[in-house]
């Protein structure tokens, strides 16, 4: 996953995912959905975070980064 600061390896992304349970990630996602209603800046920030969460949990992204030499990218 590429962020504004750096690219993360598959293993690093898995480490971040392991910080929270699925239920906790769902709560974070729900809180972000509420937060986006607070204003324009908040909406843009929530959208940016949602995009990163989607990439972190998207199986296609994970497969492409697990086997970058496979030509699937």
Domain parsing of the chain, residue ranges? 31-64
State the pLDDT at residue 65: 55
36 contact partners, CB below 8 Å, separation of at least 6: 42, 43, 46, 47
Residue 54 has φ and ψ, to the nearest 5°, of -60, -45
State the pLDDT at residue 28: 94
- Confidence band for 73, pLDDT divided at 50, 70 and 90: very low
* 7-30 per-position pLDDT tens digit: 888 888 899 999 999 999 999 999
Sign (positive or negative) of CA dihedral 51, 56, 62, 67:
positive
Cβ–Cβ < 8 Å for 72, 63: yes
- Confidence band for 5, pLDDT divided at 50, 70 and 90: low
Residue 49 scores a pLDDT above 50? yes
The model's pTM is: 0.68
């Amino acid at each position: 996953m590429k962020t504004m600061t750096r690219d993360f390896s598959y293993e690093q992304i898995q480490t971040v995912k392991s910080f929270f349970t699925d239920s906790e990630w769902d709560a974070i996602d729900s809180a972000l959905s509420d937060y986006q209603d607070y204003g324009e800046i908040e909406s843009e920030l929530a959208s940016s975070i949602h995009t990163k969460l989607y990439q972190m949990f998207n199986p296609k992204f994970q497969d492409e980064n697990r086997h970058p030499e496979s030509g699937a990218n």
